């Protein structure tokens, strides 16, 4: 059992972790999620007594780490796969750690076999790949057969086989009644591995719940409805009809509607009653990744932004429209880069249809932002033929909506 | 106590399993002995041409330790690497997660490294003495002569203390480049200059290497007005070492481990 109470860590005037309280229980894999720089590693280091908290405390089995009797036999940790003297062999590295905690030397060969490094045990670790380094780090964590295990980003650099192995290892360790605390920035990985989730952003607790709760709370079903692009008034009409019937309607970035709260047949009936033709009516499920991104989007420290190239670009001639940024680049509320817009294709969405209203720009930046993004699965029906490869004149497929009038691209730039 | 034994065993594994240990220590032995032997041979052949003043204060024991100035640099590198490797590789986090007691960790590590340096230093010192004396022919000193054994044992102690001082400095600075960048020029140049320029002589002679190296002198220099004896000098060096180690420990205890 790991218990943090009001854990706070400041480096100078930067607060890395603020008032974090949580419990990590035995017998389960607890995922520790957060964007880069959100304080995951700092928290892990504080758990291990490596960093001193500015305020608050964290204990393992009731003891602060530095007071824990025989700490190395109770707690195993993988913090940094590269924390190995490159000139030392894997076996000697583990042997020195084993001797530190009075673990018999034969245990070293045992854990080397467990992680599959027995054949390179005598090799200097500087020649190891990142994945081999992770395996060596996991071996070090397993050395003392500890009841509490901490892993900081254990699957980084591992191949699919290794990822699967780590996943099963975590589960089996937890099944033996151990406390397993795994950090990651990949929700998809945690959804498969963890039983419980602790999500932090900017060093603060965002969620502390079981994975099942997280899934049921966050992955709502929705329907995507597309009306003819050529007749925007139909879209408005359907929108109000659906809202009247109790549905929740959100415009999507490409002009489709995202409808929640109404079953698909009902949507179809309502459209029929309103005399609106439909181009698309499809069931969807928001991914966990998306739910996680929505949760942490306000807390992302390092966000990519549009390269302004100030002073590097020639001024555009008057009247020329600036190149449209690739959707999803550096804009809050964009999660998955949408598929390339096939400019000029009649079915490709609003850009191909002059005059079609574009969803209000506020919708993208607002907390509902994510709904604007997920186009991960391009609508197969709306695109009867794959677009021809962009010509050399087109720098990027996503910047392709050349026929779009200038005013349509304005909302993009306005943000 | 059990923990100390564990840490000592672990540190020994760490030290013996990296190539830099063998390289730095064997370099220290070879350089110290070779330069000492060479200069002893040179002194023997040039003795008759020396001015009378120098002949009066000719110290056959000390001349065989002439390689110490260079050899100590390899010892400094060893001392720095033993400690700062933990930081440059990130091992420090793994080590401290296994041994939460900062004092146990640091002092066990330094004890293991110092013990190894003491053995190597003594071997170096005796080898440099006997080989040097063999080159000096009729001008040679004998181990039984007054003060000679003290000087030879002192040579080994001097090497140990200089390595321990480097370990303390490295524990404070953490970075191997920074530590070496300060220690190497200091002991090779700055200290010598301060100790030989008249204006700074009075301060320079209290620097760790200047004070400590007095232990290796048997015949005092003519007009030498150093206010401490050979053991006093080594004591001053010991105080420097204690200060460096204490500083390293306080910083290790206070700082986050990274």
Tokens matching residue A317? 């001639």
Instruction: Give the range of the structural domain holding residue A188, as residue numbers without chain letter.
Output: 2-216
Tokens matching residue A201? 């952003």
Q: How far apart are alpha carbons A68 and A285 in whole angstroms?
A: 46
Both A201 and A293 in one domain: the answer is no
Q: Does residue A138 belong to any structural domain of this protein?
A: yes
Q: Which residues pair with A210 in a beta bridge?
A: A196
Q: Does residue A70 belong to any structural domain of this protein?
A: yes
What one-character-per-residue DSSP string does A227-284 give? --TT-HHHHHHHHHHHHHTT-EEEE-TTS-EEEESS-HHHHHHHHHHTT---SEEEEE
Q: A102 to chain B, minimum CA–CA distance in Å? A: 6
Q: What is the pLDDT of residue A387?
A: 45
- Span A151-168, pLDDT tens digits: 999 988 888 999 999 999
Q: How far apart are alpha carbons A151 and A80 in whole angstroms?
A: 9
Q: Which letter does DSSP use for residue A51 in this model?
A: S
The residue written with tokens 């080594």 in the block is B234
What is the distance, to the nearest Å, from the Cα of residue A132 to the centroid of all Cα atoms in its chain?
A: 24
Q: Does residue A148 belong to any structural domain of this protein?
A: yes
Both A396 and A254 in one domain: the answer is yes
Which residue, B247, B88, B228, is CA-closest to B167? Answer: B247
Asked whether B106 and B249 are in contact (CB, 8 A), the reply is yes
The three-class DSSP label of residue A178 is: coil
Asked whether A250 and A284 are in contact (CB, 8 A), the reply is no
* Cα B243-B248-B249 angle, rounded to 5 deg: 100
Say if B137 is an interface residue toward chain A (CB within 8 Å). no
The residue written with tokens 């045990």 in the block is A121
Q: How far apart are alpha carbons A181 and A1 in whole angstroms?
A: 10
Q: Does residue A310 belong to any structural domain of this protein?
A: no
Report the C-alpha dihedral over residues B108, B110, B115, B116, rounded to 10 degrees.
Answer: 110
Which residues of chain A lie closer than 8 angstroms to B89, CB-CB?
A: 82-86
Among the residue ranges A211-225, A369-383, B131-145, the one predicted with the least confidence is: A369-383
Of residues A252 and A118, more confidence is placed in A118
Final residue in a domain of this structure, among A163, A187, A216:
A216
Left (φ > 0), alpha (ψ -120 to 50) or beta: where does A246 sit? left
Contacts of A121 (CB under 8 A, 6+ apart): A89, A90, A91, A109, A112
- Span A271-330, pLDDT tens digits: 999 888 898 998 887 667 777 777 777 666 667 777 777 777 666 666 666 665 555 454
Domain total in chain A:
2
Q: Residue A153 maps to which CATH number?
A: 3.40.50.300
At how many degrees (to 10) do helices B148-173 and B176-185 cross? 140
State how far the alpha carbon of A410 is from the alpha carbons of A257, A323, A325, B185, in Å: 21, 11, 11, 63
Say if B93 is an interface residue toward chain A (CB within 8 Å). yes
Both A199 and A241 in one domain: the answer is no
Of residues B235 and A285, more confidence is placed in B235
Domain total in chain B:
1
Q: For residues A170-176, give the mean pLDDT.
A: 94
Q: What is the pLDDT of residue A73?
A: 86
Q: How far apart are alpha carbons B51 and B243 in whole angstroms?
A: 41
Q: What is the pLDDT of residue B112?
A: 95
**What is the arrangement of strands in the sheet containing A257-260, beginning at the earlier edge strand?**
A248-251, A257-260, A221-226, A280-285
Asked whether A20 and A4 are in contact (CB, 8 A), the reply is yes
- Per DSSP bridges, beta strands A75-78 and A148-152 are parallel
Q: Does residue A22 belong to any structural domain of this protein?
A: yes
Q: What is the pLDDT of residue A264?
A: 87
Final residue in a domain of this structure, among A190, A216, A242:
A216
State how far the alpha carbon of A112 is from the alpha carbons of A31, A78, A98, A120, B249, in Å: 25, 15, 12, 9, 34
Residue B165 pLDDT greater than 90, yes or no: yes
Both A130 and A63 in one domain: the answer is yes
Mutate to test the interface with B, among A77, A88, A136 (most CBs of B within 10 A): A88
Q: What is the pLDDT of residue B258?
A: 67
Q: Do A87 and B20 touch (CB under 8 A)?
A: yes
Share of chain B above pLDDT 70, in %: 98
Which residues of chain A lie closer than 8 angstroms to B91, CB-CB?
A: 83-85
The residue written with tokens 């003495």 in the block is B129
Final residue in a domain of this structure, among A199, A216, A233:
A216
Tokens matching residue A213? 């709760």
Q: How far apart are alpha carbons A54 and A116 in whole angstroms?
A: 40
Q: How far apart are alpha carbons A142 and A149 in whole angstroms?
A: 8
Q: How many CB atoms lie within 10 A of CB A32?
A: 28
Which residues of chain B lie closer than 8 angstroms to A75, CB-CB?
A: 97
| Statement: the pTM of the whole predicted model exceeds 0.80 | no
The three-class DSSP label of residue A184 is: strand
Q: Do B89 and A83 touch (CB under 8 A)?
A: yes
Tokens matching residue A352? 């191909």
Asked whether A386 and A345 are in contact (CB, 8 A), the reply is no
Both A103 and A134 in one domain: the answer is yes
Which residues of chain B lie closer than 8 angstroms to A48, CB-CB?
A: 93, 96-97
Both A150 and A248 in one domain: the answer is no
Identify the band that residue A44 occupies on the pLDDT scale cut at 50, 70 and 90. very high
Q: What is the pLDDT of residue A106?
A: 92
Both A203 and A188 in one domain: the answer is yes
Both A11 and A149 in one domain: the answer is yes
Asked whether A88 and B18 are in contact (CB, 8 A), the reply is yes
Element housing A41 (H / E) = helix A40-47
Q: How far apart are alpha carbons B23 and B73 in whole angstroms?
A: 13
Tokens matching residue A346? 């009649």
- Span B87-116, pLDDT tens digits: 988 889 888 888 888 899 999 999 999 999
Q: What is chain A's mean pLDDT, rounded? A: 77
Identify the band that residue A23 occupies on the pLDDT scale cut at 50, 70 and 90. very high
Q: How far apart are alpha carbons B195 and B207 in whole angstroms?
A: 8
Q: Does residue A71 belong to any structural domain of this protein?
A: yes
Q: For residues A130-150, give the mean pLDDT.
A: 92
Q: What are phi and psi of A316, to 5 degrees?
A: -75, 140
Identify the band that residue A82 occupies on the pLDDT scale cut at 50, 70 and 90. confident
Element housing A138 (H / E) = helix A130-142
Share of chain A above pLDDT 70, in %: 72
Q: What is the pLDDT of residue A91?
A: 93
Identify residues of A whose CB sits under 8 angstroms from chain B CBs: 45, 48-52, 65-68, 71-72, 75, 77, 79-80, 82-89, 92-93, 95-102, 140
Mutate to test the interface with A, among B24, B100, B108, B252 (most CBs of A within 10 A): B100
ipTM comes to: 0.83
Q: Do B91 and A84 touch (CB under 8 A)?
A: yes
Of residues A140 and A316, more confidence is placed in A140
Q: Does residue A305 belong to any structural domain of this protein?
A: no
What one-character-per-residue DSSP string does A96-130 give? HHHHHTT--THHHHHHHHHHT-GGGTTSBGGG--H
Picking from B20, B94, B100, the nearest residue to A97 by CB comes out as B94
Picking from A80, A88, A100, the nearest residue to B98 by CB comes out as A100
Which residue, B18, B63, B19, B13, is CA-closest to A99? Answer: B13
Q: What is the pLDDT of residue A404?
A: 41
Closest Cα in chain B to A51 = B256
Q: Does residue A321 belong to any structural domain of this protein?
A: no
Residue A345 pLDDT greater than 70, yes or no: no
Helix/strand/coil (H/E/C) assignment for every residue in chain B: CHHHHHHHHHHHHHHHCCHHHHHHHHHHHHHHHHHHHHHHHHHHHHHHHCCHHHHHCCCHHHHCCCCHHHHHHHHHHHHHHHHHHHHHHCHHHHHHHHCCCHHHHHHHHHHHHHHHHHHHHHHHHHHHHHHHHHHHHHHCCCCCCCCHHHHHHHHHHHHHHHHHHHHHHHHHHCCHHHHHHHHHHHHHHHHHHHHHCHHHHHHHCCCHHHHHHHHHCCCCCCCCCCCCCHHHHHHHHHHHHHHHHHHHHHHHHHCCCC
Q: What is the pLDDT of residue B54?
A: 79
Instruction: Give the range of the structural domain holding residue B221, as residue numbers without chain letter.
Output: 2-254
Picking from A71, A82, A99, the nearest residue to B10 by CB comes out as A99
Both A60 and A81 in one domain: the answer is yes
């Amino acid at each position: 059992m790991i218990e943090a109470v009001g854990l706070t860590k400041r480096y100078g005037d930067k607060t890395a972790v603020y008032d974090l309280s949580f419990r990590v229980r035995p017998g389960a894999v607890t995922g520790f999620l957060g964007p880069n720089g959100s304080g995951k590693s700092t928290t892990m280091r504080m758990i291990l007594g490596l960093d001193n908290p500015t305020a608050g405390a964290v204990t393992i089995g009731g003891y602060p780490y530095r007071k824990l009797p025989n700490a190395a036999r109770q707690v195993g940790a993988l913090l940094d796969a590269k924390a190995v003297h490159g000139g030392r062999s894997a076996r000697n590295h583990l042997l020195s750690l084993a001797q530190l905690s009075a673990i018999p030397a034969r245990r070293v060969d045992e854990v080397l076999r467990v992680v599959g490094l027995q054949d390179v045990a005598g090799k200097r670790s500087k020649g190891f790949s990142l994945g081999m380094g992770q395996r060596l780090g996991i071996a070090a964590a397993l050395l003392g057969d500890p009841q509490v295990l901490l892993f900081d980003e254990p699957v980084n650099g591992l191949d699919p086989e290794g990822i699967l192995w780590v996943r099963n290892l975590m589960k089996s360790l937890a099944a033996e009644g151990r406390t397993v605390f795994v950090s990651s920035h990949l929700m998809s990985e945690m959804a498969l591995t963890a039983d419980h989730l602790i999500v932090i952003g900017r060093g603060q607790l965002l969620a502390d719940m079981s994975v099942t709760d997280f899934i049921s709370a966050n992955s709502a079903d929705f329907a995507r409805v597309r009306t003819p692009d050529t007749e925007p008034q139909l879209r408005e009409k359907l929108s109000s009809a659906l809202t009247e019937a109790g549905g929740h309607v959100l415009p999507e970035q490409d002009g489709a509607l995202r409808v929640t709260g109404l079953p698909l047949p009902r949507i179809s009936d309502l459209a029929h009653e309103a005399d609106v033709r439909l181009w698309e009516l499809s069931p969807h499920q928001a991914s966990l990744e998306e739910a996680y991104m929505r949760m942490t989007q306000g807390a992302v420290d390092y966000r990519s932004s549009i390269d302004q190239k100030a002073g590097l670009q020639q001024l555009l001639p008057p009247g020329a429209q600036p190149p449209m940024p690739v959707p999803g680049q550096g804009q809050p509320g964009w999660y998955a880069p949408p598929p390339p817009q096939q400019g000029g294709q009649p079915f490709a969405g609003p850009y191909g249809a002059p005059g079609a209203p574009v969803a209000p720009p506020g919708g993208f930046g607002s907390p509902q932002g994510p709904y604007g993004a997920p186009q991960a699965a391009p609508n197969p029906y709306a695109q009867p033929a794959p677009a021809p490869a962009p010509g050399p004149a087109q720098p990027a497929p996503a910047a392709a909506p050349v026929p779009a009038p200038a005013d349509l691209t304005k909302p993009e730039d306005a943000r | 106590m059990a923990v100390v034994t564990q840490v000592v065993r672990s540190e020994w594994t760490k030290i013996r399993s990296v190539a830099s240990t063998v390289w730095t220590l064997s370099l220290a032995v070879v350089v110290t002995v070779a330069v000492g032997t060479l200069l002893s041979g040179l002194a023997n052949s040039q003795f008759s041409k020396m001015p009378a003043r120098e002949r009066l204060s000719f110290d056959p024991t000390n001349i065989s330790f002439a390689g110490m100035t260079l050899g100590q640099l390899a010892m400094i590198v060893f001392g720095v690497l033993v400690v700062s490797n933990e930081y440059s590789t990130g091992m420090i986090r793994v080590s401290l997660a296994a041994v939460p007691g900062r004092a146990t960790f640091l002092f066990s590590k330094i004890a293991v490294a110092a013990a190894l340096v003491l053995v190597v230093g003594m071997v170096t010192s005796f080898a440099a003495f006997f080989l040097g004396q063999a080159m000096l022919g009729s001008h040679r000193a004998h181990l039984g002569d007054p003060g000679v054994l003290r000087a030879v044992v002192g040579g080994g102690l001097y090497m140990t203390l200089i390595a321990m001082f480097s370990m303390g400095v490295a524990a404070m600075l953490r970075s191997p480049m920074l530590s070496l960048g300060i220690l190497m020029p200091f002991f090779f140049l700055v200290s010598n200059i301060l100790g030989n320029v008249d204006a700074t002589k009075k301060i320079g002679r209290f620097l760790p290497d200047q004070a400590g190296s007095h232990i290796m002198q048997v015949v005092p220099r003519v007009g030498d007005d150093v206010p401490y004896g050979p053991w006093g000098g080594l004591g001053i060096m010991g105080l420097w070492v204690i200060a460096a180690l204490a500083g390293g420990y306080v910083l290790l205890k206070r700082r986050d481990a990274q």
